Amino acid sequence: MKYLDKQEENGAVQARFYCSDTVACFDVSPQMDYMVCECRDGTIHLWSLETGNLEWSRPSLIDREFQYVHPKGDVVRDGGAYRRINSRILTFYRSVVFHPSGMSVLPGTLRSAYTLEGDCNSLYPDSNCTFSHCAFPTDKKTILTDRFDDPKEVVLWSMETGQELRRIAWSDVITSFAISQDGLQIAFADVTGSIYLDVAEGQRQHLLKCDVACGMMHFTQDNKALVCGYLSYRIEDGIGYGQFGWVSYRNPVLILRRLKTTFPPPRGVDFVLWPIEQKIQAGEYVFDDGLLLGRVKNVHSVFPSLETGFYKWLDNGTALVGSPSFKYVAAIHVGSLSKVNYAFARQVVEKVVFSSEGDVIYSITSKDEGSASAVLVTVFRMSSREILVEKSFTCPSLSLVPVKEGVVLCLKHKVPELWNFELTECIRQIPKLKGTEKLIRLSDELIACEWYRRIITPEELSDFGYPSEIEDSLELRAEDDSIEENEALHLANFTDEETSDDSSTTDSSAEFRDFVIKTFNRLFLALFVDIVNVTSGECVSSIKARVCPNDDAFVSCNSQNQLLVCNCEELDDDFFEGEQLTLSLRNNNSSSCVWKRKDERYDTRSFTPYFMFSPDGEFVVTWASFSSGYGVHILDAKTGETQRTLLKDQDDIVDCKFVVNCESLVCCSKDNFLRLFNIRSGDQLSVLDIEEQPCCLGACLDKPLVAIGLWGARLKFVHVELPGVQDSEGKKGSLTKQK
């Protein structure tokens, strides 16, 4: 996959180093030619910054405990790789760093080191130095570390001999520490919130007392000020399955303390990435420098939902950025201007629709216009690369379906209309489709119209399986508390009643039918999906099914007049919040199911499941549904059984579309990647870095083109070239790898 417009490739992302698991920390060699990182899965990776290649992966030499932070809202989330000090303090690891020579890596100990070739050699085998965090002075002749086995001590070690030079043993747990650039002063903080300056053996100065214990600190380059920071995380109960978990309650905070003054330090300044880059003089400090909240538009676009992390400047305005909530480190050009300003970013592309021949594209964008609901439709012609028209509608929602004669527009609560392809002229109204909630394109002439009706007439009752199947349905509902006891008994009396009198039987049947209609209308909504020929205006067929009015229902249909219905119901659980998702395939006008699948989801976040048939009807693709929303599931449309699962570790899938043929599926997710899969084999064919969070996808089977909807009412276009196509088996789109 490649961008249609070459300029799209010159974005903020210079490189992205995708690791085996969440990145706990990273370091850059003194020569700026290598990057090393440690991951949550206990591996260390060395990357070349010159080639972008992974040089080697090796096991961590020390077992570590990593903490997970629950993010705000519905966002990307990984396992988490934060460092815990005690029950109240969370911070970062700095457990893997380069040796001052740049020729080896210190894997959290001075006993051994990994060479640039990946060999594990002895460094100072007699040293008992093992650490989770460390700091160097400018000359790097010494290293200041914590004690892996004693959180109340920090130790200064010689990098020339590996011997201990100085030890600070404290009465409380030490939460952070730093060494001055000249190596003469050591500062540390403890769990009480106190910060001390240790200038020499036995000479200790109390600098200040903070309300919150600091988990990070460093000296300014002139050694005249100390910068302290803490992550605003706390432990809360009731997260997920009732376990304790870390949550973020505000942005991280930094404090600046000048060492030669008694004035209270400025505090309460929010930051995103640590360490804050310092100026030469403390008086010129970084409140206008570094990667602060106001300076990270490009960082936020590359790392969706970023709350905090760490970075290292390289050159030419480029910084390496990572976070203990993500699986990659990115080289980002921080200084490049963002294309999306605040006002523009409030517009979001909600849907992208291709015309049948693929040359005209319709972008449907929501607009923030106060209390009014506005939808903007932009018509774009690919052959000339020009915008044909922009048309605004005031309505709660809009469905747009291109067909052979033009475009069917359905505004909620209004009569659907057929427009020309450029949306400059309304050809005619389609009164027969009034009341339609949703349109689904089936072919150049056929569309499926979804709508609901609460009242079922006696004549229509047989369409829903009366009497046998509807009685079964009502009996099942009678077992539920939703039917009052007297109605349940009434239903049981009718279904079990046997009488020999013909007139009595006739009266009972009529009364029972009336009761069934009344109960059915109270318990269920009637879902209708009409297949309509837009050219003739005639209804080709009508599919009916029942759904529960208190449940969320999501519906799709195929060319065989079958309905795919997904219902979500709250679980009756006294301890956990959850929902039961039921996905079923139903034949036309039948309440029975061809197949049915159920899955339980325990999560406090709201969700919307998505599913669609493959163009040939062989598969059903669904995401944000099974396995608590993780993965893209490929189901056999005939049986409902899972054939394979793609992206099984991700619950951040944004959209999926078929492109070029019935087997090639493009998926985009909130980790900013567009991926191309063959759903029959499960092979991932290509990956493209979008560089910002996508909102939706559009694609066309007749064109190798994908449109990516973005924030700011923008589109990116991607050309898809399959590795090989053969028709030897008479099946379009069967893939073979090129040799």
Q: Which helix (H) or strand (E) holds 300?
A: helix 297-302
Peptide bond into 275 cis (omega under 30): yes
The residues pairing with 273 across neighbouring beta strands, listed in sequence order, are 309
Q: What percent of the chain has pLDDT over 70?
A: 74
Q: Nearest Cα to 25, choosing from 263, 323, 436?
A: 323
Name the nearest CA neighbour of 33 among 48, 52, 15: 48
Distance CA 473, CA 476 (A): 5
Cα–Cα separations (whole angstroms), residue 71 to 80, 158, 718: 10, 40, 31
How distant, in Å, are the alpha carbons of 5, 269, 291, 348 from that of 342? 25, 22, 19, 12
pLDDT for res 485: 41
Q: Respond yes or no on whether the N-terminal peptide bond of residue 723 is cis (omega within 30° of 0).
A: no
Burial 563-590 (b: 16+ CB within 10 A, else e): bbbbbbeeeeeeeeebbbbbbbbbebbb
pLDDT of residue 506: 54
pLDDT in tens, 151-201: 999 999 999 999 999 999 999 999 999 999 999 999 999 999 999 998 776
Which pair of tokens denotes residue 441? Answer: 């394109």
How confident is the model at residue 488, as a pLDDT? 42
Q: Which amino acid, residue 377? A: V
The 3-state secondary structure of 239-253, one letter per residue: ECCCEEEEEECCCCE
Residues 6+ apart with CB under 8 A from 61: 107, 108, 109, 112, 120
Check residue 183 and report its DSSP letter: S
Task: Look up tokens 């049981």; give the residue.
Answer: 492
Query: Could you give the CA distance from residue 541 to residue 533 in angstroms, rounded to a whole number?
Result: 10
d(C-alpha 311, C-alpha 602), whole Å: 35
User: What is the pLDDT, as a whole number, of residue 193?
Assistant: 92
316-358 pLDDT, tens digit per residue, is 778 899 999 888 999 988 766 555 444 445 678 889 999 878 8
CA 708 to chain centre: 16
- Would you give the DSSP letter of residue 464? G
- For the chain, list residues with pLDDT below 70: 7-10, 71-78, 201-202, 237-244, 262-269, 277-296, 335-346, 367-372, 435, 437, 452-527, 545-554, 573-577, 588-591, 603-605, 724-739
What span, in angstroms and rounded, lies between the C-alpha atoms of 228 and 234? 18
**Which residues contact residue 362 at a Cβ distance below 8 angstroms, ignoring those fewer than 6 apart?**
352, 353, 354, 355, 377, 378, 379, 380, 400, 402, 407, 423
Q: How far is CA 176 from the centre of its chain?
A: 32
Pinpoint the alpha helices (H) of 410-559.
Answer: 458-461, 468-478, 485-496, 502-523
Q: Which DSSP string do the residues of 225-283 spell out, in sequence order? A: EEEEEE--EEEEEEETTTEEEEEE-S--EEEEEETT--SPPP--EE-SEESPPPPSSGG
- Give the number of other Cβ atoms within 10 Å of residue 237's Cβ: 8
Tokens of 54: 């992974």
667-708 per-position pLDDT tens digit? 999 888 899 999 999 999 999 988 888 999 999 888 899 999
Amino acid at position 481, single letter? D
Range 159-188 burial, b when 16+ CB lie within 10 A, else e: beebeeeeebebeebbbbbbbbbebebbbb
| Residue 709: burial class (beta carbons within 10 Å; 0-12, 13-18, 19+) | buried
- Three-state DSSP class for residue 470: helix
**Residue listed under structure tokens 């067929």:** 541
Q: Which of 433, 432, 379 minimizes the C-alpha distance to 411?
A: 433
pLDDT for the residue numbered 712: 79
Q: pTM for this structure? A: 0.72
Q: How far is 706 from 294, CA to CA, in rounded Å?
A: 33
Superfamily designation of domain 2-333:
YVTN repeat-like/Quinoprotein amine dehydrogenase (2.130.10.10)
Report domain extents, the chain.
2-333
Contact call for residues 651 and 645 (beta carbons, < 8 A): no
pLDDT at 138: 92
Residue 1 burial (CB count, 10 A): 17
Residue 13 CB coordination number (10 Å) = 19
pLDDT of residue 256: 78
pLDDT of amino acid 429: 87
Please name every residue paired with 248 in a beta bridge, in sequence order, or none if there are none: 233
